[in-house]
A and B are shown apart, each in its own frame.
Chain A
Amino acid sequence: MGSGITHPLDTLDAPVPPAWSTPEDQAAVEQRVRHYLHALGVVAGPEVEILVQQVLKRVELQATVAQLGEPLEIAIEETHRLLDRWLIAELGLEAEPDRLAAARAAVLGGHVPGWTQRWAGLSETPLTEVLQAARFQAVPERAPLTMEASAIDLCCHRLARRVLHGLGRLFGFSTVQQAAKGSH
C-alpha cells in the first residue's frame, strides 16, 4: 500500500482527543444544543434554559460512563431522545413508532400551539387530544383489491420450439428424453 493510501483500520490507530474535558468543549456543546432547540421551535428563554440543562445533564451522564469522542452528536441525539420521551408520555404510546413519528412531525411542523411550554414542563395543560388530532394522514386506510397479472397468450411465441416439441411428442422423442433426464 502506498504512503498516500490509508487503510480503514488506520482510523482506529489515530488518537482521538477527549472532547468533553475542557470548559470550551462544554460551551460549544451547550451552544449547539441551544441552536438545535431553536431549530425545533423552542425560542422562549425559560423553556430553552430548562431543556438545555436537561440535555447537558444527560450528556454528562454519558461522559461518566465513557470518554466522549463526539459530544456534539451525543447532545443532538439526547435532545431528540428527550423530545421523543415527552411525546411518548404525553400520548401514552407503547411501541408505536409510526404514531410517534407522526406526533413529532406535528409538533415540529408547528401544528400544536404551546407544545414547547408543555415539553419544558412549564404548562399543566395536556396536549394529548391536540396531538392526536394533528396526526398526519398521508394515505387513507388500506382498502385492498386483488389485481393479478392478466394472461396474454402471445401468438407465435417460441413457435419453432413449440412445433419441434409437438413433433417430438408425436414421435415419442420427448418422452424418451424426459425419461432419460429422470434416470440421472
Chain B
Amino acid sequence: MSRHGLSALAARYVPRPLYFTLVMVTTMFCLSLLSAAIQDGGVSALELTLLILYTILMLWISASFWTAAIGFLVLASAPLWRSQVAPVASVAESAPPAEPFKTALVMPVYNEDPERVFAGLRAMADALAQIGQLDGFEFFVLSDTREPDIWIQEELHWQRWSAELGQQIPLFYRNRVENTARKSGNLADFCREWGGRYRYMIVLDADSLMSGETLVEMVRRMEADARLALLQVPPVPVNRASFFARMLQFAGSLYGRLFVAGLAFWQQNTANFWGHNAIIRVRPFADHCGLPKLPGREPFGGDILSHDFVEAALLARAGWKVQLAPDLGGSYEEIPPTLIDYAKRDRRWCQGNLQHARLMMAHGFKPLSRLHFAMGVMSYAASPLWLLFLIATGVEAYFNSLHQPVYFFGYNVVPIWPESYVIEMTTVLWVTLTLLFLPKLLALLLLALDRDEARRFGGLLHASLSVLLESLLSVLLAPVLMLFQSKFVAAILLRTSVGWPSQQRGDHQTGFWEAVGAHGFQTLIGVGVGYVAYEQVPDFFWWFTPVLAGLLLAIPVSILTSRTGLGLGAKRIGLFLTPAETEEPPVLRQLEGRLAAAEPLMATPSSTHAFWTQAMLNPGVYALHDALLHDEPQTRRRRHILEGLALQLQDEGERSLSLREQRALLSYREGLHLLHTRLWANPTLALPPLRVSE
C-alpha cells in the first residue's frame, strides 16, 4: 500500500481510538490515585459515592482536556488557522455549477431586536455583494415573533430593505401564525413551504454574522461532497463591550480554536450541529429531520427543545455526513453581556440538553451521536455533580477529623505513624488542575509560535496577562455558575419554574438590586458553608476557599464584570483583545455602519400608546401589514369577537388586552380593518393641522 493510502487509513481509523484511549487512561490514572488515597481500611458508602462522582467528572474533564490537547497538536503541526477565512481567489476559480441552484440564508427569529436582525442580514448581503457573489443567495426572515410591536417593526424593516434593493437581493419575510414546535418547527415550516426552491440553507441566529467568503466557501464545500448534509462553521463571539463579555470573547477566540480543531479531529463525519452558522442540504434535512414529540410530559417529554443535536444525529443515522469546519473563519455570534444574562441563557438551554438523556439509548443512532447527547447532558449535569462531590468531600473530611490517630498499640514499642496519602491527594489535585488549566497555556504556546497571531491578540505579554486574569475570574465565576446550573437542573427535574424574564442581548449593566436578587442566596450559602467548615473542619476550610471566595464575591463580581466602561478600559490597555477587535473584519464594520445609520421606521407622535396601535393608525403601515396577512373566510362569530376586542381597545386601552388578544386583532384582516377604522373614528383623536398643496 502506498504511503498516501496508509496515511488515509490512519486518518480514518486512528483518531477516535486514540482519543478515547487517552481519555480512559487519564481517567483511570486519576481514579487509581484517588482510590489509593481514600481506601484506608476498606471503602465506605460515602467513599464509594466520591469515587463514582469523581470518575464521571474526570471523564468529562479529561474528554475536554484531550480535545484541546489534540487540537493544539493539530494546529501546531499544520497551522490551518493562519489562513482562517477561505481565500476569495478559490471562490472565483471554482467552476460554475452544472445546474443552477439557490441557497437560502434563513434567520429564524422570535421577538428579537428587528434593527439588529435586518442590519445583520444587510451586512452579510453587502459582504456578498463586495466579492460579487450575490447570485444564487436569497435571504429569508422566518419570524415566530409574538410581540405585536416587534412584529410590525420587522415588517417595516422588510419593506424598507425591499424598497431599497428591489429585485437585486431577494429578501423574504413571513410571520408564522402559530409558533408550533418553536425553532425546529419554524425551520420545518420553511422546508415544507419553500424547501423545494433551495438546494442549501444556511441557518443563522438573530445575532449571527458570516463573511461573504465563508458563505461562498460553505456552498463550494457542499457541492464538492454529495454525501455531506451539514457543515458547521464554528462561530467566534464578538461585538460586546462589557468586561464579562470581552473576557468570554477573548477565551472563545483564543481557546476555542483548540477545542474546535480537536473536535473535528475525532468527530470526523459524525460531528454535531450547533443550531446556527451552518449550511444544510435541504432535501435530506426534510427527509430525515422532522422531529417527533417525545412521549410523556415536560421536561423530558413533548417538543424536542434542543433540536440541533437531534437533527445532526438523524442525518448521521440516515448515512449522511455531518462535519465541522475548523479551518473556516468568518463566522461570528454575539454573547450575553452579563453573568446574569449568561445564566438566563443557560436556563433556556438546560432543559433541552437534559431532554437528550432520553435519546442517548434510543434505537438506531450512531455511537458518536449518543456521545454528543451525553456531552450535552453533562454540560449541565456536571454542575450538580460537582456540587455533590464537594458536599461529599466536606462530609468525608468531617468524619476523618473525628478520628484521633493512635500511635501505640499492640506490642509495638515504636510509634506506628498513620499512613499518609498527602502525595496521592496532592497529585490528584494537581492532575485535575492541570487538566483544567493546561489548555489555556497550550493556547498561549500556540501564540508564542506565531508572532503575527500573537499581535492580533494584543501581543504575547498582553495575551498572557489576559489569560491570567481570565483564569482567576473563571475560578471566581465557576462556583456561581455551578449553583445556578444546579438550581436549573433541580427546578427542571422538579417541574418548577425559576421565573426569570427573557434574556437581553444588547449591552446593559447589572444594577445592585438585580445582582442581590440573583446572587444573594448564593452569598448566604457561601457565608453559611464557610462558617460551618471553619468551625468544624478548619483544614478543609482552607482547601475550600476558592469556592467560598467565588460565592462571597458573587454580587460585586457580577456588577463589576457587567460594566462596559471596565470592558472598554481593558481594551484600551490591550487586555482581552481578539483578532476581531484588532483587525476588524469587513462584515463587522458593515454591521456597525448599518446600525449607526439606522433611522426611525415611522414618526411616533405619542409615547402613551404602544407602537403597534400607533402604527395601525398609519394607513401605509396598516396596508402593509394587511397585505402580509393571508385572506381567510370570515364568520359572523369571528367578526363579533374581533369587534369586541377593537371596542375594548378603544374604551379601555391596549393594556387591557392580553398578548394573545392583541395578536388576534393583528392577525385577521377583518380585525385589522375594524381596528384601523375605529382608531381613525375616535372623536378625541389628536390630529396635526392640515397642510394642503395646490
Contact = CB atoms under 8 A, between A and B. Distances in A.
Interface in A129-147: 136-147
A137 to B, nearest CB: 8
Contacts of B361: 154-156
Given A45-B693, A138-B628, A144 B196 contact: yes
Contact of A140 (B163, B170, B631): B170
A101 B681 contact: no
Interface stretch (A34-42, A53-61, A164-172): A34-42
Nearest to A40: B619
B174 to A, nearest CB: 5
A152 B159 contact: no
Contacts of B292: 149-152
Given A98-B630, A143-B196, A157-B295, 15 more contacts: A32-B687, A34-B690, A36-B619, A38-B692, A39-B619, A45-B694, A72-B680, A80-B677, A139-B173, A144-B193, A145-B196, A149-B290, A150-B292, A152-B362, A155-B362
B693 A44 contact: yes
Contacts of A36: 619, 680
Contacts of B624: 105, 108-109, 136
A88 interface: no
A151 to B, nearest CB: 7
Interface of A: 28, 32, 34-36, 38-41, 43-45, 48, 70, 72-73, 75-77, 80, 97-98, 101-102, 104-105, 107-111, 136-158
Given A102-B627, A109-B159, A149-B291, A139 B172 contact: yes
Contact of A144 (B192, B618, B620, B687): B192
B317 to A, nearest CB: 8
A138 B143 CA distance: 12
B563 interface: no
A43 B627 contact: no
Contacts of A152: 292, 294, 310, 359, 362
Contacts of B687: 32, 35
Contacts of A98: 627, 630-631
A155 to B, nearest CB: 4
Interface centre among B163, B295, B680, B682 (most CB of A within 10 A): B680
Contact of B191 (A32, A40, A109, A145): A145
Contacts of A136: 162, 624, 627-628
30 contacts: A28-B683, A32-B681, A35-B690, A41-B619, A44-B693, A72-B681, A76-B681, A77-B677, A98-B630, A101-B623, A101-B626, A105-B627, A108-B620, A108-B622, A109-B623, A136-B624, A138-B627, A139-B174, A140-B170, A140-B172, A141-B197, A143-B194, A144-B195, A145-B283, A146-B192, A147-B195, A149-B290, A150-B289, A152-B359, A153-B363
Interface centre among A34, A111, A151 (most CB of B within 10 A): A151
Contacts of A109: 159, 163, 620, 623-624
Interface string B333-359: 000000000000000000000000011
A55 B550 CA distance: 72
B286 A140 contact: no
Given A142-B194, A147-B188, A111 B163 contact: yes
Contacts of B683: 28, 72
A46 B120 CA distance: 45
A101 to B, nearest CB: 4
Interface residues of B, number: 64
A173 B574 CA distance: 77
Given A76-B677, A97-B631, A105 B294 contact: no
Nearest to B282: A145
Interface in B169-204: 170, 172-174, 188, 191-197
B691 interface: yes
Interface centre among B163, B291, B677, B678 (most CB of A within 10 A): B677
Contacts of B363: 153, 155
B289 to A, nearest CB: 7
Given A39-B618, A139-B172, A145 B630 contact: no
Contact of A73 (B195, B359, B678): B678
B531 to A, nearest CB: 44
Interface string B126-159: 0000000000001000000000000000000011
B314 interface: yes
A79 to B, nearest CB: 9
Contacts of A80: 673, 677
Nearest to A97: B631
A73 B314 CA distance: 56
Given A76-B681, A152-B359, A145 B195 contact: yes
B620 A45 contact: no
Nearest to A157: B295
Contacts of B358: 154, 157
